[in-house]
Chain A
């Protein structure tokens, strides 16, 4: 049909406008899986904008895409009680790109997450290799916790060829990738050795004095470091602490578990809920005391801000969501970060040109441009955006043997752009994107907080 025959106004029904109407999903999980996302599904007018954003549909001939996984599947489900969830829902990588697309505000990723949860709990064989493998990958924190007790041994064993061959053959974990190295000292151990909150209070006070701020200013944040910066890249956590203290903030590192991101993506909603309960309870108490929750990993902040309140009904969950921020974002809002960066310069180790990749989960939070824009005027370093494609790893997705090739195909565009970029060091906020960038380009990858530390902290 030509556009002359179907003027777009026909989408608009003046008798029953659905434009932007708010809806409240009935959240009764976990007593029953019966979310009511029907009103959300009804606002879909099938424009397929979401489909143009899906990196999996772009390379995978079997994946029907977000419009099908979301509103279409929800409609089928609502009209037929026996409707089985299509198993393609397990091929969605939970990159959440489709969420950012829909002009009509359809809650796509919430639909995918709930459908996946239902699929795994009702339709998946709990003895299958796939289930066991997914559960191990999703519970990265547990493996990391054990490995961190013996980091040297773990680093060796996890990348020991024959063992990896067995893992691929029996568990379906690709042997193409190197497991990330475990740090000799975790972030939490460093934090405790350094004197924890008491020391942080001292440092913050001293900084406030230096800056001519009132010494008793109420500046305090609770750091959600997540698993990765605890076990694998504690330098990111350290940078966060030092940068915040430099601005006069007292930091606490409350008890916490995995944010749940890898569990959402694998439909392990019960596991995710257990971890979320701990995180929400420790964060909400701190929020009551005037703290804001700060995360350095964009998937963690995404989980606390959006996925928790969409999926669970836990006391204090909305309060935590409203008070969670990404680490650099928070400083942009509350401090003259731009001015300080403009006045600063870097030399030494981080005086570099960086090839920057924005993680998908930073996109929904509106943070995909933050690093490039912030460091535009920083002397001594250069941050170049390598484009808006997905890195392809999407947490556990790229670790699965059957997904590895697709994951690399999705990432191809990013690898190419990295190669053409001036810099030979990568930069991103997401630990798994960092893994993929390193894997595909061989570059070392840094976090924007590390550059911020180099620029602003003595």
Chain B
């Protein structure tokens, strides 16, 4: 016997979760298996569809309009504009705490570095911070959190020409946390609203935080904090802070480790659970049986190889960071099914001299046909029942284009839906 399902999705990042969700909503019996936690915990939690063209033009106002002129090898071209839209609708439905669905136009959000970033969907907690909003803004940094230097961020934002006044202040987080306290420590304190000592008096954490900010507030109409305002109850925390401060409160998405990414991951896992899929995390898929068709794959648990079989498979193991694409001195490869990864034979052609140059390796990944089935070196399907989704795909550079989450969601949706239709 093997553990069986109709559709088996390998990888638990944005690509895999969307695939599994799309397949489950199509009515298939779905199983998602993932090794470790995905790159979502390192990403900002913003869902970018397309911020810049591959040539660096932008920020783009309407990402959908730009898709038809992308290179043919780009994943968006494989699935088409309508699928990108449908995929985002699925996302909007599954993650109701995100905003941005009211318009095709990219929203402009301030980043923790003080730049402005075009994005298609953003957490509700970030919405009062939109850069197109003209309300004057106070940014509040926390002394111990060196990744968000509020006065510096404010100065940067100001230099980008935002249509409002912005000022930064730094406070000590109430309760004397250790200098390198984890973001989850701040979040937990605020989630549980536990009491902290402030000048010898015990005060609930949310109130204590508001008390620190109140005297600093001048006539600003909104206050932005780094994204540490809760893991389980971010809405309630923002409301309490807003009440105490008398202005809107928002979070500025942060770099790794990212609470918005973590919350997004949680939301997608619960949507998947509700859709009735099976989920297993903690162990890698290491091997498979089959020639033209994948018969079964093997999950390794401390030396034991557990067979899992399905009718259709989706490969969503991520890119270089997620370990879905690997490289060694001899080349670049996809480690689970050994799917072909087109790349320059000479290692010195993989990257450019400058750090931020146009590195080829940024676009490395498996190539597919229009149905997202991986192609071998002679452009034949590697397997008839395997599709690929997310950053394991080649042909795009998500960091330069600001398209990471969008590509994962769009290709995940397409791969999951087609796999389900074929399995049924």
Task: Identify the A interface with B (CB < 8 A).
Answer: 1-12, 14-15, 17, 19-20, 47-49, 51-54, 57-59, 61-62, 64-65, 100-105, 305-306, 309, 318, 321-325, 332-336, 363-366, 368-369, 373, 376, 385, 409, 412-413
Contact = CB atoms under 8 A, between A and B. Distances in A.
A54 B184 CA distance: 9
A413 B283 CA distance: 26
Nearest to B44: A3
A364 B278 contact: no
Given A20-B335, A373-B278, A61 B176 contact: yes
B85 interface: no
Given A305-B302, A369-B280, A100 B257 contact: no
A49 B281 CA distance: 15
B36 interface: yes
Contacts of B350: 14
A321 B299 contact: no
5 contacts: A1-B147, A6-B255, A59-B185, A305-B301, A325-B304
A101 B362 contact: no
A58 to B, nearest CB: 5
Given A14-B351, A20-B335, A49 B176 contact: no
Given A2-B113, A10-B355, A332-B3, 11 more contacts: A3-B399, A6-B255, A7-B362, A11-B320, A17-B327, A19-B323, A61-B177, A103-B39, A104-B323, A333-B2, A373-B278
Contacts of B257: 47-49, 51-52
A352 to B, nearest CB: 21
Nearest to A335: B1
B183 to A, nearest CB: 7
A248 to B, nearest CB: 14
A15 B347 CA distance: 8
A435 B351 CA distance: 56
Contacts of B400: 7
A305 B282 CA distance: 13
Interface string B251-284: 0000111010010000000000100101111110
B182 interface: yes
Contacts of B321: 8, 11-12, 103
A10 to B, nearest CB: 7
Given A17-B327, A52-B182, A2 B115 contact: yes
Nearest to B269: A388
A253 to B, nearest CB: 22
A49 B182 contact: no
A302 B295 CA distance: 29
- Give the top 4 A-B pairs by smallest Cβ distance, nearest first: A2-B113, A322-B303, A7-B399, A48-B257
A324 B276 CA distance: 29
Contact of A366 (B112, B177, B282): B282
B115 A100 contact: no
B361 interface: yes
B328 interface: yes
B90 interface: no
A363 B281 contact: yes
B3 A64 contact: no
A298 B303 CA distance: 17
Given A4-B115, A59-B188, A366-B299, A105 B281 contact: no
Contact of B111 (A4, A10, A104): A4
A55 to B, nearest CB: 9
Contact of B113 (A4, A11, A20, A335): A4
Interface string B118-143: 00000000000000000000000000
A54 B262 CA distance: 13
A369 B279 CA distance: 7
A49 B361 contact: no
Contacts of A19: 320, 323, 326-327
B320 A12 contact: yes
Contacts of B306: 333
B359 interface: yes
B181 interface: yes
Interface string B385-424: 0000000000000011000000000000000000000000
B37 A101 contact: yes
Of A2, A53, A59, A322, most buried by chain B (CB within 10 Å of CB) is A2
B180 interface: yes
Nearest to B262: A52
Contacts of B1: 333-336
B242 interface: no
Contacts of A64: 178, 180
B97 interface: no
Nearest to B186: A58
Of A3, A14, A61, most buried by chain B (CB within 10 Å of CB) is A3
A364 B283 CA distance: 7
B32 to A, nearest CB: 10
B114 interface: yes
A52 B355 contact: no
A380 to B, nearest CB: 20
B256 A47 contact: yes
Contacts of B304: 305, 321-325
B187 to A, nearest CB: 8
Contacts of A15: 347
Given A47-B256, A412-B192, A369 B278 contact: yes
Nearest to B38: A103
B323 A102 contact: no
Contact of A14 (B33, B42, B181, B361): B361
A366 B117 CA distance: 37
A387 to B, nearest CB: 9
A58 B232 contact: no
Nearest to B278: A373
Contacts of B3: 332-333
Contacts of A52: 41, 182-184, 257, 259, 262
Nearest to B322: A103
A11 to B, nearest CB: 6
Contact of A306 (B176, B194, B273, B302): B302
Contacts of A363: 281-282
